[in-house]
A = this chain, B = another copy of it.
Amino acid sequence: MTQPQGIPRGSAETVQILLVDDHPLFRQGLAQLINQESDLEICGEADTARQALTLAERLSPTLAIVDLTLEESSGLDLIRRLRSLHPELRILVVSMHDEMLCAERALRVGARGYVMKREAAECVLSAIRTILAGEVYLSERVRARLRPIGDSPGGGEGTSPTTVLSDREFEVFQMIGQGLTPRQVAQQLHLSVRTIEAHREHIKKKLGIRSAAELLKYAIHWNQEERG
């Protein structure tokens, strides 16, 4: 029961939902919550990006719920690939990361909503129904934040990793903050070690950091404070 797999019940009446998360217990809780709704149904579960792509192909769900931090690959990458292979697939991100930091990135690569894991169960159901209705689901906080698009280029004080770094750079920054070596990051993202090192150099330049040790220290602290 806890192994991820596709178990289509074949109901034409229920909305088919694919669940992508590498936390078995969380997946189970979410599955039970959703299956309690008479019009929603988990049609498959995946704990890796590869498995998610396979199941999306085989089950062609209406909605996919994906975690941003998978074991072997980036959640953002998975969303991009899902969107390009299945343009009509709606994607809801359910992540433990702070929405203020990641929601905008998730939307940019094609997600239709973002819910934090610490949120109440009702939020997930609300998000699902909002997205199924064709709208975008975000918390009030993030919605307020996304309205003003004004930035201050030049020497502004907006030197936060979230605003200055590009998507890829931010991704690498986070993985560095988890104590991963360049080699480990490269393997997880399926990139060359040199690419990761190049990203790291760009991050250092943007944040005004000189040594790799300093960057690691900064990334660790930042990662620690900005999540539940």
A25 at the interface (CB under 8 A from B): yes
* Stretch of A106-114, A161-169, A213-221 lying at the B interface: A213-221
Given contacts A26-B117, A216-B217, contact A2 B33 (CB under 8 A): yes
Chain B residue with Cβ nearest A117 = B23
Return the CB mask of A157-194 against B: 1 if under 8 Å, else 0.
Answer: 00000000000000000000011110000000000000
Rounded to whole Å, the gap between the CB of A113 and the closest CB of chain B is 16
Is the CB–CB distance between A217 and B179 below 8 Å?
yes
Interface pair B180/A28, CB less than 8 Å apart: no
CB distance from A37 to the nearest CB of B (A): 12
Q: Which of B2, B25, B181, B224 contacts A211 (CB 8 A)?
A: B181
Q: Is A228 an interface residue (CB 8 A)?
A: yes
- Set B25, B124, B220: member contacting A220, Cβ < 8 A: B220
Contact mask A93-121 → B, CB, 8 Å, 1/0?
Answer: 00010000000000000000000011011
In-complex Cβ contact of A29 among B29, B120, B224, B228 (8 A): B29
Q: Which residues of B contact A2 (CB under 8 A)?
A: 33, 120-122
Residues of B within 8 A of A117 (CB): 23, 25-26
Is A41 an interface residue, CB under 8 A from the partner?
no
